[in-house]
Amino acid sequence: MTKRYRHRSQRRGWLALGGGIIAVAIMAGCTAAPDPEPTTTVDPFTEHGPIAFAVASDSSGAWAAAIAEWNRGHRDQPVTLRELPSDSDQRHNTLADAAKAGRGEFTVMALDSAWVPEFAGNGWISELPTTDFATDGLVPSAASGGAFQGRRYGFGITADAGVLYYRKDLLDKAKTGAPRTWDQLVSACAKVRARQPAMSCLGMALAPTDQTTVNTAEAVYSAGGTLVEESGTPAVSSSHAVAGVNWLAGALADGTIPQAARGWGADEAVQAFADGKLVFLRSGTTAWHDSQAMTNASQIIGKVAAARIPGEADYGTPVSGGYQLAIATKGRNQGTAADFMRWLASEPAQRILLSTGSLAPSRESLYADAQIAAQQPYLSVFAESIAAARSLPRTEKYPEFSKDVAAAVEPVLSGTTSTEDALAKLQQQLTDLLG
């Protein structure tokens, strides 16, 4: 499927074919970030000057807008935006490869919360002074997501959680509301599809990548289970975990989730929703902007609402996410990097990210701001979803963990292996992996 919202005509940049990295020129005469050269300064936080910021590409221009605002006031310390693939696996590998090489080419990196233990444990990112990176006023998931072994390595700049988007116009015509349970979702789809038989019910990203791990975790959480206990013991063979994965597999088998979803990443799922092919979409907070954007030729502008995800018996439990900003250990000008990170966490910068790209803020005060609430009516749903969310397992071996989960679930989703057999084997694999 063509991902029409991945490119914006007002941007200028170049594509480095080897790594899939887009460096966006947004500095209007400012000095570009220095060529990759590891810092040799004893205290790198004393260095100031140009830096590069690596983050997933987005269609809204929110990061570019925020950086342009910073650059207007810091012409001797400009930030160059380095856009990485939106696919989380590709983005992780790009950042990890650069960190292993010790080039320091990305001074500031936007990490998924689940990656912080790996990057910190390997010495790829700098410890952040807690006195300079206070987390007071941040939503709990953003505040805790940057910690590893009692120290701070990431600074929460956005929050995120799974959200259920739906065609409000079609549910209103069918005289049904947003579902709280999986059964209610199926019932609502049946009523809508009685009038719109060509539509599919629920879209989500189920390509065999980290997206499958996230959606598997969400199904398990929403059935009352967990992937790993607080003690670190895997729990994927529990009856609750089996119930959650059974629901996913059953929804694919009976057509509630279209088979095409097994090849979708997050972008493709959002595009199918924007094309008017889905009644419901499970995605993160930025899908609000993407589903309403003219840049992806959306067919559903003004027809969408958002709700918490459904679960087995009541509202489900989404997976918490959001970006943790981290500083590369070998990155140059870490003093500027620290200043830039703190500025991105300020209310003015957070307002830019929210209003331009529907990036849910990490700062709690913005969720109670009456002016923002009037402009962004979906923000209360984001707040409820983020508050109800649970994190993915915190482990230095998260990449291996995620690959094992996705690989184990794939044959269940295709109908070639039973859930019980697959999860029993996965239980042993994860026990061996996590020790």
Task: Provide the CATH number for the domain around residue 355.
Answer: 3.40.190.10
* Same domain, residue pair 19 and 103: yes
- Number of alpha carbons in the 13 Å side-chain half-sphere of residue 305: 12
Backbone angles phi, psi at 273, to 5 degrees: -65, -45
Provide the domain limits for residue 362: 4-160+321-388
Residues forming a β-bridge with 84:
56
Residue 43's pLDDT is 78
Closest by alpha carbon to 4, among 297, 373, 357, 341?
297
Do 98 and 225 fall within a single domain?
A: no
Nearest to 338 by CA among 91, 73, 51: 51
Do residues 241 and 362 share a domain? no
What is the residue-level pLDDT of the chain in tens, covering all 435 positions?
Answer: 444 443 333 333 323 333 455 555 444 445 565 555 666 665 778 999 999 999 999 889 999 999 999 999 999 999 999 999 999 999 999 999 999 998 889 999 999 999 999 999 999 999 999 999 999 999 999 999 999 999 999 999 999 999 999 999 999 999 999 999 999 999 999 999 999 999 999 999 999 999 999 999 999 999 999 999 999 999 999 999 999 999 999 999 999 999 999 999 999 999 999 999 999 999 999 999 988 876 667 899 999 999 999 999 999 999 999 999 999 999 999 999 999 999 999 999 999 999 999 999 999 999 999 999 998 889 999 999 999 999 999 999 999 999 999 999 999 999 999 999 999 999 999 999 998
Query: Are 245 and 376 contained in the same domain?
Result: no
Are 184 and 284 contained in the same domain? Answer: yes
Query: Does 302 share its domain with 367?
Result: no
d(CA 308, CA 383): 10
Shared domain check, 267 and 133: no
Phi, psi for 320 (deg, rounded to 5): -80, 150
Whole-prediction pTM value? 0.90
Specify whether 167 is located in the same domain as 265.
Answer: yes
Helical pair 334-344 and 347-357, crossing angle rounded to 10 deg? 70
The C-alpha atoms of residue 285 and residue 387 are separated, in whole angstroms, by: 13
343 with 414, same domain: the answer is: no
pLDDT at 293: 74
How many structural domains is the chain composed of? 2
315 and 325 both lie in a single domain? no
Looking at the structure, tell me whether residues 408 and 374 fall in a common domain: no
Separation between Cα atoms, residue 23 and residue 96, nearest integer Å: 18
Same domain, 345 and 310: no
